[in-house]
Structure 1
Amino acid sequence: MRRDALAGVHAMDPIHELKVRADILHARLESNDGGALARLRVLPELHRADDATLRTKAADVRRKHCLSVVARECGFASWEHARHVLGGHTDVDDFGTLLHAKNAGGILNQWFASYAEAFAAQRSLPDRPRHYLLAYKRHLLITGPSFVEALGMDPDDPDWEAIGWDWVHPIDAAARSRLYYKRLVAMRR
């Protein structure tokens, strides 16, 4: 397949985005980049490692470890967890913390333990302002445009309408995948 055709295949693919990040991290680790070494501390087995230990362990780091690092940095428990969630599986019960915005502490949201309650509450609200049904770990929240902006995303992005403003059970799974990608890009900034 030609390179330009491959670019189209991976356009806005959140899993591919994380694989690229893992490859970059792996290359930086091979060059003993201090910042890359410090990122290894997200792995449970290296959480308390000092710099000397990290330098020693870096020689044994493989791509699978880098995939775990980038997945954890994005709020997932593991690479498999990230692949499952970002891959659009419908049996997801833990969405991770990717939809967490550190700068959104002052924004009020409605929280729910069950999808049925969240969905009913969202549908009972007026269309304007728009209400987004999002997921955080095993919980659901209904929020407004300011929270979406705090995530670094455009609340008027047509993909929100394409998913029916419902992250958990989107009308269009491909649109949610694009939104995941946009969130990952926003996190890089």
Structure 2
Amino acid sequence: MGTGSTLPVTLHEYKVRASLLLKDLDSSDTARATRAAERMRALPFFAALPLGEVLARRDTVQHKHGLAVVAREAGHTTWTELKQALEARAHTLDTRAFFQKGQSPFLNRWFSTYEEAARSLEAQGGFLFPFREQCFICEADFLQALGIDARDADWERMGRDWVRPRDPAAKERLEAKLVSRGFGGHHDVR
């Protein structure tokens, strides 16, 4: 979705990031290897070492170290903690389910970036949701046809914006209702 994207990153993507970090660390390009060594210093063991020593020990760096670095960069203490957070997210709203229930007669506005969608939401109203790498805005009738109460006060509290809600607690309450109605996630958390 471009800059400012808040779409969730999959576990697979984090594994790829860890592999790329190790590839960078082993690079013959000194600047690339140095940047990777700096990132490795996010781990307590490497933090205590001078940068040159991290580079000298790059042959001893394992995949688990790369995973730990990307977990820390994502705001988690360990890889296990990151994995658990992603598995918990698997029980979140999956907007793909909106379109598996035969709601094709409704026209929704589609956008390749969140920023475009947010401008449209402000100008024309509706309800903004993420969908894979895009965003869409639907009308209340679309939600009502899915059996979702578009008049629930929490929609207004969150600004009708699922991606960047004004009130995260309102979103959590709505999400719990929607997931319990069969709109739960099936994210890849392997």
Q: TM-score, normalization: structure 1? A: 0.47
Q: With CA pairs under 8 Å and 6+ residues apart, which has the higher RCO, 1 or 2? A: 2
Which structure has the greater CA radius of gyration? 2
The two structures have a TM-score, normalised by structure 2, of: 0.46
